[in-house]
């Protein structure tokens, strides 16, 4: 078994190296690449996807996994070896159901679609993007068909981001969460709104960049193994466990955009950088799922970055950078301002109380598109109707509406639910961490984050993709993903801010 495992690891490392090279091309496309290079880049990415698919689905890997699976039954199921075999076999079985021609076509279509989406968003023109969305919806339906029989057409798409979870399971969680959030939002809407006009002044980009870098350096982001760049939509990407990069976007007339976006992406990066290095260049060198990943970004952005103890330390520093904008604002007013609850158009700038409604809306849209009950041409009207129903507002244009997110342009149907699930997981982890670190708030107020990061590394990060998300969350917190801790967190926080 030892010799076969060694051979498997070599083959998987080769695939991981190709995946990293592909990620470099994707990062460059969104950060540096000139717009006219889109088609060439699409062919390059498609070629790499084709090679990777051929290697992942090779008879050699299939035979090795079958032979190793027999031996794996005799060892500890939570050992690194058993988990590697299980995860690699799961990937193999999924990949072998998808034809190589489909993988290549998906890469070509999505690469071009991302560039068209960016142009369509800049011009607020959905019709420019619509043909590409139609192709992507068709391709994702075709992808789901490869995995029949399923309970729901959305299940295979969700499984790509949340291994082992079903659509019905997510819907049940959201159904328990929605009434409580709506009740809280309704109560807040009947009170006096907090002051936050100071957030909409002119904030030069260089000052925003400097502050963000200081904050994430304190969090523990390792600049020797990462960097930050600008992009149309913030993201984190990994080229291996020693090179994890983030991007952000700036809004010179709205301070929170880059400020909290930088903290959010840093949370993702800290997770990747905390995975045990022995898993590098293997299928275990990844997060357990996107929900677990989002729990990390939500924790650093919201539970820490939007907390009062955090701003007691960092607000004077921010005032020094922007004295004319914030010199006459006190820390309590600033804390309330960055936590103001008000229905808004842009998901990534939504407050904690309304954010999950954005996700539930998108989940309904994606399910309808996949079921065929909604066509791409009717999507903008459906979007506006749902926005009116969920949040009481309608977008004035496509850029602030249906085109605001990049996900559909790369075929990422199934991704959105993970954001709301990540919020729930972050609260579960925070609740557990507070029991293990009694002076947690005091450490945040002193900007001492090493024990917090150490707890996350020991209890979560180190495992990489060894365990499925529900299994890992239960291992750390004692419960599968549940909305109760998050609901408690929201009610406690916003009842205090709004004197409910």
Gap between the Cα atoms of 166 and 163, Å rounded = 9
Helix, strand, coil abundance in the chain, percent, nearest 5: 70, 0, 30
DSSP line for 340-374: -----S-GGG--HHHHHHHHHHHHHHHHHHHHTSS
Q: Tell me, yes or no, if 342 is annotated catalytic.
A: no
Q: Please count the other Cβ atoms lying within 10 Å of the Cβ belonging to residue 146.
A: 13
Contact 402, 121 (CB under 8 A): no
Q: What is the edge-to-edge ordering of all strands in the sheet holding 228-230?
A: 228-230, 244-248, 236-238
Gap between the Cα atoms of 391 and 383, Å rounded = 11
Residues linked to residue 247 through DSSP beta bridges, in sequence order: 229
- The one catalytic residue in 49, 162, 169, 265 is 265
Determine the distance from the C-alpha atom of residue 490 to the mean position of all C-alpha atoms in its chain, rounded to a whole number.
Answer: 20
Q: Which one-letter DSSP state was computed for residue 414?
A: T
Contact 407, 348 (CB under 8 A): no
**Residue 284: CA atoms inside 13 Å, Cβ hemisphere, count?**
23
Contact 371, 153 (CB under 8 A): yes
Write out the catalytic residue numbers.
265
């Amino acid at each position: 078994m030892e010799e076969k495992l060694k051979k498997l690891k070599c083959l998987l490392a080769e695939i991981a190296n190709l995946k990293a090279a592909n990620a470099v091309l994707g990062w460059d496309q969104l950060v540096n690449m000139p717009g006219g290079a889109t088609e060439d880049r699409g062919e390059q990415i498609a070629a790499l996807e084709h090679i990777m698919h051929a290697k992942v689905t090779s008879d050699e890997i299939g035979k090795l996994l079958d032979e190793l699976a027999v031996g794996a039954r005799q060892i500890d199921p939570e050992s690194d070896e058993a988990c590697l075999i299980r995860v690699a076999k799961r990937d193999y079985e999924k990949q072998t159901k998808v034809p190589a021609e489909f993988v290549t076509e998906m890469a070509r279509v999505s690469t071009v679609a991302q560039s068209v989406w960016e142009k369509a968003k800049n011009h607020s023109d959905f019709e420019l993007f619509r043909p590409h969305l139609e192709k992507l919806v068709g391709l994702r339906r075709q992808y789901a068909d490869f995995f029949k029989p399923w309970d729901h057409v959305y299940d295979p798409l969700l499984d790509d981001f949340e291994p082992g979870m079903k659509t019905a399971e997510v819907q049940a969680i959201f159904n328990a969460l929605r009434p409580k959030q709506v009740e809280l939002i309704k109560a807040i809407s009947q009170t006096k709104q907090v002051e936050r006009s100071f957030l909409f002044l002119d904030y030069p980009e260089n000052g925003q960049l400097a502050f963000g870098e200081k904050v994430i350096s304190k969090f523990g982001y390792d600049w020797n193994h990462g960097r930050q760049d600008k992009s149309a939509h913030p993201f984190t990407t990994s080229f291996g466990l020693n090179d994890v990069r983030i991007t952000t976007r700036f809004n010179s007339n709205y301070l929170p955009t880059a400020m909290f976006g930088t903290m959010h992406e840093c949370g993702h990066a800290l997770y990747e950088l905390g995975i045990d290095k022995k898993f590098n260049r293997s299928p275990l060198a990844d997060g357990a799922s996107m929900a677990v990943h989002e729990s990390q970004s939500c924790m650093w952005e919201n539970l820490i970055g939007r907390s009062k103890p955090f701003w007691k330390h960092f607000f004077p520093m921010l005032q020094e950078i922007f004295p004319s904008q914030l010199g006459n604002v006190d820390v309590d007013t600033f804390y309330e301002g960055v936590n103001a609850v008000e229905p808004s158009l842009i998901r990534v700038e939504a407050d904690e109380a309304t954010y999950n409604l954005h996700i539930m809306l998108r989940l309904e849209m994606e399910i309808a598109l996949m079921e065929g009950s909604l066509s791409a041409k009717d999507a903008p009207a459906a979007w506006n109707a749902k926005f009116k129903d969920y949040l009481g507002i309608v977008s004035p244009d496509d850029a602030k509406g249906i085109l605001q997110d990049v996900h559909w342009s790369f075929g990422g149907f199934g991704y959105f639910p993970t954001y709301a699930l990540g919020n729930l997981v972050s609260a579960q982890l925070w609740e557990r961490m507070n029991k293990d670190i009694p002076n947690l708030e005091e450490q945040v107020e002193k900007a001492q984050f090493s024990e917090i990061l150490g707890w996350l590394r020991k209890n979560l990060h180190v495992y990489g993709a060894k365990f499925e998300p529900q299994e890992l969350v239960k291992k750390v917190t004692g419960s599968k993903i549940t909305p109760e801790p998050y609901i408690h967190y929201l009610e406690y926080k916003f009842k205090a801010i709004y004197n409910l």
